[in-house]
Amino acid sequence: MVALERIVDYAGLFPPAKLPIEVAAAEYERCRQSPHAWMLGKFVVPAGQLAALESSLGGSEPVAAAVLFDAQTPVRASARVKPESCEVALRLADYEIGASRTAIRALHKGLQDLAPGLAVVVELPRGLASTLLAEAFDALAETGFAAKVRCGGVNAEATPSIDEIADFIRAASRRHVAFKATAGLHHPVRHFNTDAGFTMHGFLNVLAAAAAAPSCDSATLREIVGEEDATSFAFDERGFSWRESVLADEQALTNLRRSVFLSFGSCSFAEPVDDLVGLGILRAP
């Protein structure tokens, strides 16, 4: 299914799983051998653990990795970061300076000097005012960087609102900036998680919103992001639908995944797969 190919970037090193590097590497290898391995994307790894990951995996092929740097250290990236196998993910934690056009241009220059052609994903700070958000996306479009949206965390305070997610997707769509999602998207559809005690976003909601954003109004986009009825989403011969609306046929889904919604990070590969099987979207192995 083209809509879900390589959609899950494995983030087992991060909360709530927070596995040791050797255990996470072994789990990634197990996922690569599973019947749904076609859904598995990159291994998300902090820059300081990339060498340990390569050692733990022990293969001759380059590790397909999303290498994380904070805002202070990106241009001092390890020489192990190679354009053919890695992407660099940067988290801009500062509210104004980190998200400015000047700052993003400086990151672009530094990284292009380090490794021309390297794929770069920039996580913008939460809560940006509309003018700053627009400026940041203008800079991302100019540099060719992708964006990243944080969709959750270990508590309710770390989880952005429906409006925040919708505004991010709308801004990305208007400037034709590809994006990834991280944190809080273990499950397909927005729902109240009784174990966590708060409502979590769903990756099918994000996929549907990305597909709808170029043509729907803001209110509808928020409805899609906030949808909690799993039966509202469907994949069939027409393509991908939400309620009565066909959002994308197969070709549009291919384009969507290649150049719009690239993937999402999850510390579990099994949870998204098992939920999709439970919904009847995937077949059980």
- Residue 76, pLDDT > 60, answer no
* φ, ψ for residue 210, nearest 5 deg: -65, -40
Q: In sequence order, which residues have a C-beta less than 8 Å from that of residue 215 and are 6 or more positions away?
A: none
Rounded CA gap, 33 and 10, in Å?
14
Give the right CATH number for 2-278 from 3.20.20.70, 3.40.50.150, 1.25.40.10, 3.30.70.920: 3.20.20.70
Which pLDDT value is given to residue 88?
79
State whether residue 85 is helix, strand or coil. coil
* Cα torsion through 30, 151, 44, 260, rounded to 10: 100
In this predicted structure, what is the pLDDT of residue 114?
64
Structure tokens at 92: 């801009």
Percent of the chain past pLDDT 70, that is, above it, reads: 89
What's the mean per-residue pLDDT of the chain? Answer: 88
Q: What confidence score (pLDDT) does residue 246 get?
A: 96
Of 154 and 39, the structure prediction assigns the larger pLDDT to 39
Q: What's the pLDDT band for 71 if we cut at 50, 70, 90?
A: low
- Hey, what amino acid is at 13? L
CA distance 208 to 246: 10
| Tokens found for residue 169 | 């997707």
User: So what's the pLDDT on residue 220?
Assistant: 98
Arithmetic mean of pLDDT, 104-126: 78
Read off the pLDDT of each residue in 249-259 and give the average, rounded to a whole number. Answer: 96
φ and ψ of 259, to 5 deg: -135, 5
Is 80 exceeded by the pLDDT of residue 6? yes
Mean pLDDT of 105-113: 74
Given a cut of 90, whether residue 278 has pLDDT beyond it is yes
pLDDT digits (tens, 9 = 90+) for 225-234: 999 999 999 9
What pLDDT does residue 98 have? 55
- E strand or H helix at 245: strand 245-248
**What confidence score (pLDDT) does residue 44 get?**
94
Query: Which token pair is 120?
Result: 């770069």
Q: What is the structure's pLDDT at 178?
A: 97
pLDDT of residue 224 exceeding 90: yes
Q: In degrees, to the nearest 5, what angle opens at C-alpha 190 toward C-alphas 172 and 215? A: 35
Tens digits of residue pLDDT in 23-66: 999 999 999 999 999 999 999 998 888 888 888 887 656 678 88
- Across the range 87-98, mean pLDDT stands at 64
Least confident window among 96-105, 232-241, 259-268:
96-105
Residue in this structure with the two tokens 């170029």, named with its chain if needed: 214
Contact 91, 125 (CB under 8 A): no
The model's pTM is 0.92
Could you give the CA distance from residue 233 to residue 96 in angstroms, rounded to a whole number? 37
Please report the pLDDT score of residue 96 as a whole number.
46
Measured distance CA(285)–CA(33) in Å, rounded: 12
Mean pLDDT of all residues in 244-272: 96
Q: What is the mean pLDDT of residues 246-264?
A: 96
Residues 116-136: what's their mean pLDDT? 85
Token pair belonging to 69: 């740097």
- Which of 153, 184, 182, 180 lies closest to 169, judged by CA? 180
Higher pLDDT, 177 or 98: 177
| CA–CA gap between residue 127 and residue 258 (Å, rounded) | 27
Query: Please, are residues 87 and 77 in contact by the beta-carbon 8 Å criterion?
Result: no
